[in-house]
Amino acid sequence: MLYHAYELTHAAMGPIRSAARASSDALRNPFFPFASSLPARTTAAACDMFVNATRRYAKPEFGIEETEIAGVSVPVVEDVVLQKPFCNLIHFRRDSAVAKARNDPRVLIVAPMSGHFATLVRGTVEAMLPDHEVYLTDWADARDAPLSAGRFDLADYTDYIREFSRFLAAGGERAAIMAVCQPGVPCLAAASLMAEDDEAARPASLILMGSPIDTRINETEPNKLAQKHSLATFEKNVIVTVPWPNQGFLRRVYPGFLQLSGFMSMNYERHVDAHIDQFHHLVRGDGDPAAAHRAFYDEYLAVMDLTAEFYLDTIEQVFQEHALALGAFRHRQRKVRPEAIRDIALMTVEGEHDDITGRGQTEAALALCPNLSEAKKCAYVQAGVGHYGVFHGSRFRAHIQPKIRDFIRANRATIQG
């Protein structure tokens, strides 16, 4: 009933939301004689805040139309090159002869499937585009996946990564894979399986960014929460059924609005302060700060549902059993052996102040690959950033991205015979 209550509340607020929107427009109308007065500006700002607090945030657009290569502006075309029931593989194609002539390495950015849409890594894509052919996993909202699409669990996620790696290697060169946060475990598992099978299309390099490889190290609040409750408790309290008339009617999911509430509660005071500041910006008519606030929260408040089986698998195997770190991780009854990795270069990236994936949790992946030479291993910690700073923002662009770029280039590898 939780999901039904959420939908009913949203629908019930519709008329009030429409009235608030109309009131805001009327109070700002230049023909309204008191539009510039403090009471009118304050009331209009309050109406705007109400509308933004109660409306549903749709999946944002990537909106990446161009990039710059060697000082030349190049158009970017967003192509869906592979469609799966729970994910589209997107190629941000640089549409110019200049880009094609460079023969830049292919990189697969695996976006987190943790409640937000893949557009959350828009900044990562933009930073990588000047030097790479960028592909991205655009995960589907489980609420929109009909029951006929079947299940999607952690094993399916791993299989998707393997399939995408093979697809990218069709050009004759093994791809690089960048796992942003949560995908670190299935990406390392996929690389391990492909290495053990000596697949020609195995990735040339794997970059794990703020990934929960071993959550026993420097436990954070999300790690402690997962340990505190049994899997049955999670299933009973946060797994719900998608209501009609959504396409995923009757699918069991972990709803995005619950994940969002968890994210918000971790930094509650910061979010409250940001909205208070936004109210003052609206009253004063400060366009730039208000627009920046809206752009951030249009992204942050747009959430997607996860399939119940994927969510519960992740809680159990990653956060409770630490299966990969303890050598007990299995993929469809087959043991996953990171020690099979011998020629897939491995880089870990962590943030000094990461409060979601603690320091050392990602770097633990390096010790799981004892047969990989030290020359193909790299551990990097970025000073002064939290979790999101690992893959987005000024320090990512200035410091982290160049190191990833150089690491990928130093470990390029072609398909062998």
Q: What is the pLDDT of residue 168?
A: 97
> Who has greater pLDDT, 188 or 264?
188
CA distance 231 to 41: 50
Range scoring the smallest mean pLDDT among 10-14, 21-25, 167-171, 243-247: 10-14
Q: Output the pLDDT for position 293.
A: 47
pLDDT at 117: 85
pLDDT in tens, 79-128: 999 999 999 999 999 999 888 888 899 999 999 988 788 988 999 999 99
Query: For residue 78, what are its two tokens?
Result: 């967003």
Domain boundary assignment for the chain: 1-56, 66-224+306-414
Higher pLDDT, 12 or 167: 167
pLDDT band at 272 (very low <50, low <70, confident <90, very high): very low
Q: Is residue 268 very low, low, confident or very high in pLDDT (cuts 50, 70, 90)?
A: very low
Other CB atoms closer than 10 Å to residue 297's CB: what's the count?
A: 17
Q: What is the mean pLDDT of the chain?
A: 86
Query: Helix 221-228 to helix 256-266 angle, to the nearest 10 degrees?
Result: 130
DSSP-derived 3-state class of residue 155: helix
On the question of pLDDT at 142 being above 70, the answer is yes
Three-state SS for 94?
strand
Percent of the chain residues topping a pLDDT of 90: 61
Q: Is the pTM of this model over 0.85?
A: yes
pLDDT of residue 365: 98
pLDDT of residue 131: 95
> Residue 107 has which token pair?
């990189």
Tell me the torsion sign for CA atoms 219, 125, 177, 334.
positive
pLDDT at 359 over 60: yes
Q: Own/partner pairs for 65-71, CB < 8 Å, 24+ apart? A: 67/94, 67/126, 67/129, 67/130, 68/130, 69/94, 69/96, 69/98, 69/99, 69/102, 69/130, 70/98
Per-residue model confidence as pLDDT tens digits over 397-417? 999 999 999 999 999 999 874
Q: How many percent of the chain have pLDDT more than 70?
A: 81
- Among 199-213, 284-298, 335-349, which is the least confidently predicted range? 284-298
For residues 227 and 117, what is the distance between their CA atoms, to the nearest angstrom? 26
155, 332 contact by CB (below 8 A):
yes
Assigned CATH topology for domain 66-224+306-414: Rossmann fold (3.40.50)
Range among 124-138, 224-238, 294-308 rated most confident: 124-138
Q: Which of 144-148, 169-173, 196-200, 378-382 has the lowest mean pLDDT?
A: 169-173
Distance CA 208, CA 86 (A): 22
Check pLDDT > 70 for residue 6.
Answer: no
Tokens 């209009």, residue located: 44
Q: Are 65 and 76 in contact (CB under 8 A)?
A: yes
